[in-house]
Amino acid sequence: DVKVTQSSRYLVKRTGEKVFLECVQDMDHENMFWYRQDPGLGLRLIYFSYDVKMKEKGDIPEGYSVSREKKERFSLILESASTNQTSMYLCASSSSDFTGELFFGEGSRLTVL
């Protein structure tokens, strides 16, 4: 069974803390994505990567960075967490011959106090 695994389901952090969200996929997919999901706003793309060590900004990259050192792993970093980054974060992957199917992890719910 294909799988995208996010390291933490629930996190509570304080303003100013550095936060790492890890994502691992076992499908040998080239493409990986980080979204955040907020009520009424839907899923918004933060960053994506088409290959190892490659990254591209999505629609809302401010306050975030990413790292892709290995094909299967894509990390989202919040250098200095703020309360407006409280959200559900979803990692996804897809193959290079994209047919419209993104495979999502279960999500990481981050609360910044």
Partner 1 sequence: RKEVEQDPGPFNVPEGATVAFNCTYSNSASQSFFWYRQDCRKEPKLLMSVYSSGNEDGRFTAQLNRASQYISLLIRDSKLSDSATYLCVVGRDAGNMLTFGGGTRLMVKP
Among 92, 95, 101, residue whose Cα is nearest residue 29: 95
Q: Is 77 in the site for partner 1 (CB under 8 A)?
A: no
CA gap 6, 75 in Å, rounded? 9
Name which of 75 and 94 has its Cβ closer to partner 1: 94
Pairing of strands 4-6, 19-25: antiparallel
87 touching partner 1, by CB under 8 A? no
Which of 11, 45, 60, 77 touches partner 1 by CB under 8 A? 45
Q: Which of 46, 66, 94, 110 binds partner 1 (CB under 8 A)?
A: 94
- How far, in Å, CA of 56 to CA of 53, rounded? 10
- C-beta neighbour count of 61 within 10 angstroms: 16
Q: For the CB of residue 112, give the shortest distance to partner 1 in the complex, in Å.
A: 20
Which spans of this chain sit near partner 1 (rule: CB under 8 A)? 31, 33, 35, 40-45, 48, 50, 90, 94, 98-102, 104-107
